[in-house]
Structure 1
Amino acid sequence: MKGKSIWTVCLKSSRENTSDEYYILLGSLLESTTLPEGYKLGLKDIRYIVLGSVVPELTRVWKHLCSKYIQAEVYEINALSPLGISFRVDNPSFIGADLIANAYAAWQKYRTSSIIIDLGTATTIELISQEGMFEGAIIAPGIKIGAESLFSKAAKLYEIELVPPTALLGLNTTEAMLSGIIYGHSFMLDTFIAKIKEQYSQLKPFQTILTGGMSSLIKPYLSEINTIDKGLTLDGFYLALGKILNQ
């Protein structure tokens, strides 16, 4: 199954929005988007939909949207999908769809044991072996969540824009917070990656992959990363659809 991405959009998740509201929003975004020459895309042109959700309320909303407005086959990807991934636990259903998509994409694209760091709402770290064994995962507060907690809980601190820190030791409050937030997260990640490589050394060599919206901000402060792959999650869903359709 071969193809390429022609349009992506990032929407803020809201449990308050209905399927009708999301349908109107998607339609208006598509109408206002200039696609590459030779491509046309409307909601009625969609043949397959891959759904991966970690918010049950929104899963129901999007399924309703798909069934009501779009005449397409819907495939929900999760740990129980027939992708060939094996797990260290008997019941992997608790593993999020984003972790499955990242693991499957890394397994298929890099063909070696992969440590995947996804900088989203939560920061996740996972390991999949060259043989497709999901070895486990780590879930930590995301960079923005950690920063927002700092801003809201410390009376004398204030909200700042998350940008590269100018020094390890800040000379004012803003610089000091940036160092703690950015360097602190990068030190945590480097330590986790080093420990994974040490404790799972039998699986080497490792590909260490960074993905997620904050990748470009954090990458310069990490010493253990081989590559940034911002499209890893979407690639995982796309490759998973191809696997399922070809079975």
Structure 2
Amino acid sequence: MAGPFNQLPENRVPTTTYLQRVYHLLFEHFGPQHWWPADTPFEMAIGAILTQNTAWTNVEKAIGNLRRADALQVAALHDLPPDELQRLIRPAGFFRQKSERLQLFTAHLIDNHQGDIRRLLAQPLAIARDELLKLKGVGPETADSILLYAGGQPSFVIDAYTRRLFGRLDRLPGDGGYDDLRRMFMESLPASAAMFNEYHALIVILCKEYCRKRRPLCGNCPLSVHCPAGSMNR
């Protein structure tokens, strides 16, 4: 296959070129992913909080319960009795902890943004991100998911799949921590929410289908020829 990977040894390919080539290889293989599955920015944010430490299928059940209870609006969710909210989101796990976080989140929106998440997300990226990170239970991955998927802000989401893939590709920057890996994407790629959205979704599907945590299926992986781990598993 022609392209930048064939023109230089892997460890000498500039980061921008490398990341763009990985993106195009994934896009060519999988096509557009059309993430994130939600009807409103607020629902997207609720999903980002609920998906912590659980599978998306469980979040879908919890979101469905909230929708049937007409509780997918800021005021309605905020006003639910805690035990009722816990019952509705129980399928997502850690329901007591997540119930508290959801109601703290809605209280923050009511107190600071007239109950409108779009006002929070319309702020400059750095300001909105810093505000989200100050909320209890909102870490970097959750904050960046809300910014990217609910706010359309170009904030790259780093998750376990991203660390797994780029660890196997031997392209983890610095100590491989969240901030270093996010900075690599943010500083090396155009600030495009659409591209960041698609890139993250493509990484997720690659890791689910091929770059699995255990017993990766390297033979048919679109990146295997360029992957040190893949070359050992072929």
Question: Could you say whether these structures have the same fold, taking a TM-score greater than 0.5 normalized by the shorter chain as the test?
Answer: no
User: What TM-score, normalized by structure 2, do the two folds share?
Assistant: 0.27
Q: Higher strand fraction: Structure 1 or Structure 2?
A: 1
The higher-RCO structure (CA 8 Å, 6+ apart) is 2
Q: Higher helix fraction: Structure 1 or Structure 2?
A: 2
User: What TM-score, normalized by structure 1, do the two folds share?
Assistant: 0.26
